[in-house]
Amino acid sequence: MSILLGLLFSSLTGFAGYKKGALSESGALGAVLVGTAIFGFGGWVAGLALIAFFISSSLLSFFKAEAKQKVAEKFDKGHRRDLGQTFANGGVAAIVAVLGVIWPGDWWWLAFLGAMATVTADTWSTEFGVLSKHPPRLITTGKLTSPGTSGGITLAGSLAAFGGAIFIGLTAWLLLGAQQLLGGALPVPYGRHLPLILVVGGAGFFGAMVDSFIGATWQVMYYCDSCHKETEQSLHHACGDTPTRFIRGLRWLNNDLVNLISSVAGALFAVAGALLLI
């Protein structure tokens, strides 16, 4: 029953995302798969946390869209999210929700929120970071770099990362409170405690920094000879999918995989943080 409801909710969200131009056809399919798993196995509080990520990220992408257009071609967000991107953003949270049914316990809920907080932090920091008046600095060396470069961080982007992560923690805390008021059983006792917000906020911020660190070090980077620009894309979307050439990084470590790895880092941070603090 909950899986059917999950399918219904995520189909509506996926269709709306496709209509609004936030998702490609394969991206809409990915949203339905990820959403059904999270709603169906994680329950409605987990499902609404996913929707909070999706709606806030979509709204932010329309915020000052013209100013972002100038730097958008450099990173992989300048077009509709595809299947790989929806799995990169929601895949870890979906797998954790399924594993939580197989191995019930407190851990899955924290891991789920840590993963959701990471992808939200990462999206928010990208959306605000590209608008920064100051050029970003590489997270590894502190050297100035150009906007949109993987591994470049700004103060605005970092604050937005923390804000996005806290937003997921606060949303979960409020939803758990509502669930308790409605007489539902809480997935874990953590819902009653304010530190949940801080643990989830810290997890998302940590995950976003891991994302930047890998972006600056091992992530594969290409060069588009037609635009004379560095890009994360093997086919440069900005100039009609021109094939690019490899310049550095690990060839298999693309942007989607980096997002996936940083979600796992955020999930582990949340579990560890809760064990230490709550």
**Among 38-46, 183-191, 198-206, 231-239, which window interacts with Zn ion (CB under 5 A)?**
231-239
- Shortest gap between Cβ of 35 and Zn ion (angstroms)? 33
Q: Which of residues 119-148 bind Zn ion (CB under 5 A)?
A: none
Q: Is the separation of the CB atoms in 34 and 51 below 8 Å?
A: no
Look up residue 256 and give its amino acid: D
**For Zn ion, which is the closer residue by CB, 64 or 70?**
70
Q: Is the separation of the CB atoms in 27 and 81 below 8 Å?
A: yes
Beta bridge partners of 246: 222
Candidates 46, 236, 266, 274: give the one binding Zn ion (CB under 5 A): 236
Q: Does 224 help bind Zn ion (rule: CB under 5 A)?
A: yes
Q: Is the separation of the CB atoms in 79 and 23 below 8 Å?
A: no
Q: How remote is the C-alpha of 244 from its chain's centroid?
A: 26
Look up residue 149 and give its amino acid: T
**For Zn ion, which is the closer residue by CB, 69 or 180?**
69
- Shortest gap between Cβ of 235 and Zn ion (angstroms)? 9
In sequence order, the 6+-apart residues with CB closer than 8 A to the CB of 262 are: 118, 122, 207, 208, 210, 211, 214
Candidates 226, 247, 248, 275: give the one binding Zn ion (CB under 5 A): 226
Q: Which of residues 239-268 bind Zn ion (CB under 5 A)?
A: 239, 242
Q: Does 74 help bind Zn ion (rule: CB under 5 A)?
A: no
Give the residue carrying structure tokens 């608008």.
Answer: 131
Q: Does 227 help bind Zn ion (rule: CB under 5 A)?
A: yes
Q: Does 71 help bind Zn ion (rule: CB under 5 A)?
A: no
The whole-angstrom separation of Cα 24 and Cα 79 is 9
Nearest to 30 by CA among 260, 264, 271: 260
- Shortest gap between Cβ of 236 and Zn ion (angstroms)? 4
- Shortest gap between Cβ of 225 and Zn ion (angstroms)? 8
**For Zn ion, which is the closer residue by CB, 132 or 242?**
242
Q: What does the binding site for Zn ion look like in residue numbers (CB under 5 A)?
A: 224, 226-227, 236, 239, 242
